[in-house]
Chain A
Amino acid sequence: KQEVTQIPAALSVPEGENLVLNCSFTDSAIYNLQWFRQDPGKGLTSLLLIQSSQREQTSGRLNASLDKSSGRSTLYIAASQPGDSATYLCAVKGNNRLAFGKGNQVVVIP
């Protein structure tokens, strides 16, 4: 059974600092890994999708890396802004489903 862990569970950073969010998973037999953003009481916004054959993906200030063999992914958010405050979810795709971590709850302090 796939287990996905996200560390730290919560963090606060001052505006302008870079954010580093970690995700680990126990079964390396995945098809892809996806990072989502979730605002309180809202749905999921897909940020980045990394296929299993890829090492990283970038979109604007966001960069996600994937090391499938060691079961790790890292999401980097450069020059954080108060609008980046949200919960970030990591999900890995197995055969039929996504397995989610519990999220990294981020607060960016102005």
Chain B
Amino acid sequence: DTGVSQDPRHKITKRGQNVTFRCDPISEHNRLYWYRQTLGQGPEFLTYFQNEAQLEKSRLLSDRFSAERPKGSFSTLEIQRTEQGDSAMYLCASRQETYNEQFFGPGTRLTVL
């Protein structure tokens, strides 16, 4: 068990560019969550997958954001036409169906210039 991994750890991009982040959950975990954390704040929920199905999306997730989890394994989060307000730490977490504890990855820090 290597824990939840995220790639890249840091991403610097220019406003208007598209970016994609990857999350690899713990292998037996069927639930996967994305959160966003801005400086000095707690993480905020973005979206949730149960296996490959995206079951809930936050109102924070504008049309420029899209997430996928093909085959119920890794997940990707894409941000199109990035804006400076998208600068944040993007966190991924996973958990087993029957045990209510989420395990977090190290996060991807996005900076939009």
**A in complex with B:** no
